[in-house]
Amino acid sequence: MEILLTITYTLLFIFIIHKMKFFEVEGVSKRLLSGIFILKIFFGLLLWAIYTFYYTDRSTADIYKYFDDSKVLSDILKTNPTHYFKILFGIGNNAPEFETYYAQMHFWARKIDSNIYNDSHTIIRFNSLVRFFSFGYYNVHTVFICFLSLLGLTGIYKTFVVYLQDKKTELLIAVFLLPSVLFWGSGVLKEGLIFFALGLLIYHFNKLFSLRSIFICLGVALLLALSKFYVWLAIVPGLLFILWINKTSSSKIILKFTLVILMFGTIGLNIDRFTSIQNPLVTLSQKQIEFNQLASGQLTDANKNPIAIAKSAIKIRTLEPTLYSFVRNSPEALINTTLRPYIWELKSPLMIMAGLENLLILGFILLCILFIKPLAEIRWEYVLFCISFVMIQFLIIGETTPIIGAIARYKVPALPFLLIAFLFMLDKNKLIKRIPLLKKLLR
């Protein structure tokens, strides 16, 4: 039954791809998009197989943790529909009568409490909604998340292809075909929802003159914040900067960018002074504590069994809840996020994939620097937009995460934007003149 449903929904979504106007993409046929969709499903099934037959502890596998908790949530519908819809839409989440349900879920509550929304709730709710169509079969959820992820990635591509007309093939690879994007962005994980919300937000942000786009932006911005708050945090300064440039001009770009970053940073670091929101430096410090406990085997799984020490654990400098500590730790954080795993740290197939991808990305960046356009011809507003998004994410991840495997996964939403930033700098004609063999590949 699972195989039949999975194939049926795959064919249904391919039909939607061919009929939906949003998938009319310059430089990419609907047949190719359908092929990418099938490729994503393959990688989603590969992720499922790895965490089913290789890493067999279901209680510690992210693909199952939130899926299993969603069954507890969905079962509430059978006994108390009112409670189900209240929990589903976050109405009175802390009501005492809901505690009985939460006690049956293993990952609804976080280990260390803070005033920031627990993003595990979003993926649990998503899985609960999909259960209306999947009848509880896991890989149907894979097909749904692959389609949503494809929508978001298509939005990213459509946003930037307007400015990269001579690099459509390279942009296609950067957005859709990075190994880690295909792998982690195609599983029943938060990354699929992040790409969906991120892509639609960026695409429709350029169309804010439309009332429809305004509503879509508000909706997907909320979804992004609820799916992974720090990704939302990372994209906001860049969006404000682009909005300012679009409403004024491209003059004094560096000054405008600096002012936006300073304004956003000042408000963020003092937000606890005028709201009930916890200071972000305190939250980051708490996150590092929780990750250190996880990496060192101090936490337990859903069945109260000790979690083994992380095989890819590394030692990072303690993050105090102060700006000085954050700045002091930043170089190490950026190195860990950008360069690791190192070659000598490649001890598993997933680590090998991440390490080789790092080398390819670094090689591409070096190529772009060697064959850079004249500075006056570069669209610096989009370079700064992408780099700010990447840097904020890399800093947050590197400051808090002492597990290389987790770093490799968490940075995935930033990777397409890192490549896009350097695509804006690359002088393709200069590169082809130096290496003529690339002419046929990079048409």
> DSSP readout, 177-231?
--HHHHHHTTSSSHHHHHHHHHHHHHHHHTTTTSHHHHHHHHHHHHHHHHH-HHH
Question: What residue spans of 206-322 are helical by DSSP H?
Answer: 211-227, 229-247, 253-269, 271-274, 280-295
Residues 215 and 281 in one domain: no
Q: What is the pLDDT of residue 230?
A: 92
Per the structure block, which two tokens stand in for 353?
């994939």
* Last-in-domain residue among 208, 227, 246: 227
Per-residue pLDDT of the chain (443 residues; tens, 9 = 90+): 888 999 999 999 999 999 999 999 988 999 999 999 999 999 999 999 998 888 777 777 888 989 999 999 999 998 889 999 998 888 877 788 888 888 888 888 765 544 455 788 899 999 999 999 999 999 999 999 999 999 999 999 999 999 999 899 999 999 999 999 999 999 999 999 999 999 999 999 987 777 888 899 999 999 999 999 999 999 999 999 999 998 887 888 999 999 999 999 999 888 888 888 888 999 999 999 989 988 887 777 656 777 778 888 899 999 999 999 999 999 999 999 999 888 888 888 888 889 999 999 999 999 999 999 999 899 999 999 999 999 999 999 999 999 998 999 999 999 999 999 999 999 888 888 887 776 666 66
Cβ atoms of 194 and 413 within 8 Å: the answer is yes
Per the structure block, which two tokens stand in for 39?
């490729």
Closest CA to 34 of 45, 18, 46, 12: 18
Residues 295 and 204 in one domain: no
Per the structure block, which two tokens stand in for 351?
């680590």
pLDDT in tens, 226-264: 999 999 999 999 999 999 998 887 888 999 999 999 999
The total domain count for the chain is: 2
Residue 394 belongs to domain spanning: 230-443
pTM of the model: 0.94
Q: At 351, which helix (H) or strand (E)? A: helix 349-370
Per the structure block, which two tokens stand in for 183?
């792998």
Residues 139 and 248 in one domain: no
φ/ψ (deg, to 5) at 107: -130, 20
CA distance 208 to 23: 20
Residues 217 and 254 in one domain: no
Helix (H, G, I), strand (E, B) or coil at 403: strand
Closest CA to 337 of 394, 418, 280: 394
CA distance 115 to 62: 23
39 Ramachandran zone, left/alpha/beta (phi>0; psi -120 to 50): alpha
Residues 207 and 308 in one domain: no
Cβ atoms of 154 and 33 within 8 Å: the answer is yes
* Last-in-domain residue among 199, 227, 255: 227
pLDDT in tens, 293-315: 888 877 776 567 777 788 888 99
Peptide bond connecting 321 to the previous residue in cis, omega within 30 degrees of 0: no
420 Ramachandran zone, left/alpha/beta (phi>0; psi -120 to 50): alpha
Cβ atoms of 34 and 135 within 8 Å: the answer is no
Cβ atoms of 72 and 105 within 8 Å: the answer is yes
Residues 377 and 262 in one domain: yes
CA distance 202 to 205: 5
CA 272 to the chain's CA centroid: 26
Per the structure block, which two tokens stand in for 167?
């690099």
Alpha-carbon torsion angle 82, 83, 87, 90, nearest 10:
60
Residues 181 and 309 in one domain: no
Q: What is the pLDDT of residue 1?
A: 83
Residues 193 and 246 in one domain: no
DSSP string, 66-131: HHHHHHHHHHHHHH-HHHHHHHHTTTTTT-GGGHHHHHH-SSSS-SS--SS--THHHHHHHHHHHH
Q: Residue 10, Cβ neighbours under 10 Å: how many?
A: 20
* Last-in-domain residue among 205, 227, 249: 227
Residues 268 and 366 in one domain: yes
Q: What is the pLDDT of residue 301?
A: 63
Residues 6+ apart with CB under 8 A from 152: 194, 195, 196, 197, 198, 199, 200
CA distance 389 to 393: 6
Residues 243 and 156 in one domain: no
Per the structure block, which two tokens stand in for 75?
């079962």
Residues 331 and 304 in one domain: yes
The residues pairing with 372 across neighbouring beta strands, listed in sequence order, are 426
Residues 178 and 325 in one domain: no
* Max CA pair span of the chain: 70
